Structure 1
């Protein structure tokens, strides 16, 4: 082995060992056979036989389509199908135009990196997703954070900044599960001439008459410059879309590097996106059932775990705070031992002292499964307290 390779190998091993010694090492593992209280498949679309059959039928009907996109959409990757699906998405999300990206990460990265320019100001909630943080870091705008969901802090900063201002938030926060005060945010942005950007990743499919998200549910689609909707969570497929005015679409085609310089999604993915939106429009039971299961969980959790510490979440993301990486791992392992897929979220993904179990409630979880989950959490928390004492 060349000396440089040996030195780099040693360096990487040292860094991994440090992570391992601090209990921070991440590893990949499957969850085959476990009852799902972990995934973002809120409506069960990823396991839906109806959606799978619809996608297979669409593939048959488009048998002459290429297997791969063969290039970026500015080169060989553009298709009539992509244009058709984007027009359908714009109609579904009640806006003028839509542009599909390969993932929600790409969409947020491209949007925040290219939209605010030098001389502009980008104000971001302190708990936005890593993809938005990375996009903000790539922007040449002045960047500031405001305290989570704190309208007073945001207004103070709006009064201090100059140039065009962009405010970036999530409608449903992925690690706390709480909702952004979108009505008040829209009012503030209107008052100070700021443009509001909303990541709807965890609201897509879950809120709105047909799953259009919180912005549409609140009637704010004309007051939000850009929304990012991802398809790999509530809709069970893959990809993402930025929706907004037609000029925004044209702008992103010209300036969003994750769109310009990547191979486009293949036709199969566009067909899957179309089928998922058709199903969520026609599906009348999954969303109400999801909210019924969520209400059941919250009621029973209050009865069985009265002293537990929860984040202020009204969404299907329910987070039980179990401070310390070891404690969080212990409680998650107890659940996994009886066949429940429960995962611990550890620092530094969340701040030290805010380690947690991120529990996702789904339309397909039965009340008996929820009872089983709460029982094991109750026992594990009791044992963990006993061990500390």
Structure 2
């Protein structure tokens, strides 16, 4: 008896035939140009020890939270960390979710109502798309970072009875670029639209102490909601939605990905607190930006800048059309000890496949020089 449905096997076979099959990797000791651990915090002994000592000193020997936050899992530590997030990110209220995916799913599936309008950047993250799919609101995409197109769409969808939400990212995960956030905010005011910004790849990277790009620009009081994550530059796990007290109260009551999930354990919450205690005194953020500047200079030095998407973030993308081509190039770099992931279609549109370089504070200038010299030689083949 075949215990796997034929339709599902056909979809797997199709992926294999198109060289698009995703597979789990294994742990390795390659030079890291692929992880989201931009500041190296995930391997920080100082943060690990700080977390351990706090839990020991407060006699917190709990492995789990025991339930959802609305049942038994809302221990006092949650309130402490959320208050710290409000102070650090200059917001009225914050609500922690188990991941960025859960946060976006909970927000977009519950906040926009039937009759409302969601306008979202065409390159928005899959977690936001999935949340929008679960919403009863109507949704339309605008061209990537094209504010003229956004303005045109706002004119078309504006109705007295509709609430309009504009959704974008401050740093896009697949291109590493950013919209003109000041202009976007100004457009939103003209149409009285609510702005929602995903700051997953900006938190810990931009702004004083890593507060994010929205705060760096002084826009935090002009957006309806911000999403920050702890699993990228902050090296831990989880996420939070920042906004008003009313927004938090609403999400606690209606965001199903918050209501019906077991809360994070004390160790994760203390790790998040330890990270935020480390951010004001770390030199890793400036090291990261020095590496970004050096990487971009080396791209020009090796005369391969026309292959790269312009970005000032830790994400630098080299376009290599075709899944087979970009996978082959990634394998060549891997053989020389460098871990650079190929980003394949359908994750990105066909023809826009790329090598995504994720830069870190701990990458050396020699590593950057070596990998870009190697890449330049391979691109010429």
Return the TM-score normalized by structure 1.
0.95
Partner Cα separation in structure 1 for residue 275 and residue 304 of structure 2? 39
**Residue in 2 that maps onto 1:341:** 339
- 1:353-368 equivalence runs, <5 A: 353-368=351-366
Q: Which runs of 5+ in 1 are unaligned?
A: 384-389
Unaligned runs of 5+ in 2: none
Q: Is 1:8 matched with 2:4?
A: yes
**Which residue number corresponds to residue 387 of structure 1?**
none
Q: SS at 2:277's partner residue? A: helix
Bigger shift: 369-378 or 60-69?
Answer: 60-69
Pairing of 1:1-389 with structure 2 (within 5 A): 1=1, 6=2, 8-161=4-157, 162=159, 163-283=162-282, 285-306=283-304, 308-383=306-381
For the Cα contact (< 8 Å) 2:299–2:372, is it kept in 1?
A: yes
Aligned to 1:386: none
For 2:5 and 2:303, how far apart are their aligned partners in 1? 47
Q: 2: CA distance between counterparts of 1:192 and 1:270?
A: 39
Q: Distance in 1 between matches of 2:338 and 2:60?
A: 43
Q: Deviations over 1:103-146 (max 9, x none)?
A: 00000111111111001111101010000010111111111111
Q: CA deviation at 1:171?
A: 0.3
State the Cα deviation string for residues 275-318 of structure 1 (Å, max 9, x = none). 111111221x1111111111011001111033642112111100
CA apart distance, 1:31: 4.2
Structure 1 contact 346–355 (Cα < 8 Å) conserved: yes
Secondary structure at the residue paired with 1:270?
helix
Aligned residue pairs total 378
2:197 counterpart SS class: strand
**Following the alignment from structure 2 to structure 1, what is the Cα–Cα distance between the partners of residues 278 and 209?**
10
Cα drift, residue 328 of structure 1: 0.3
Contact 1:101 1:107 (8 Å CA) reproduced:
yes
Partners of 1:248 and 1:106 in 2: CA distance: 16
* Aligned mates of 1:371, 1:306 — CA distance in 2: 13
Say what the alpha-carbon RMSD is for the aligned residues.
1.2
The alpha carbon displacement at 1:15 in A equals 2.1
Contact 2:109 2:133 in 1 (8 A): yes
CA contact (8 A) 2:229 2:238 kept: yes
> Structure 1: how far apart are the matches of 2:280 and 2:32?
24
Q: Alpha-carbon deviation of 1:343?
A: 0.8
Secondary structure of the 2:211 match is coil
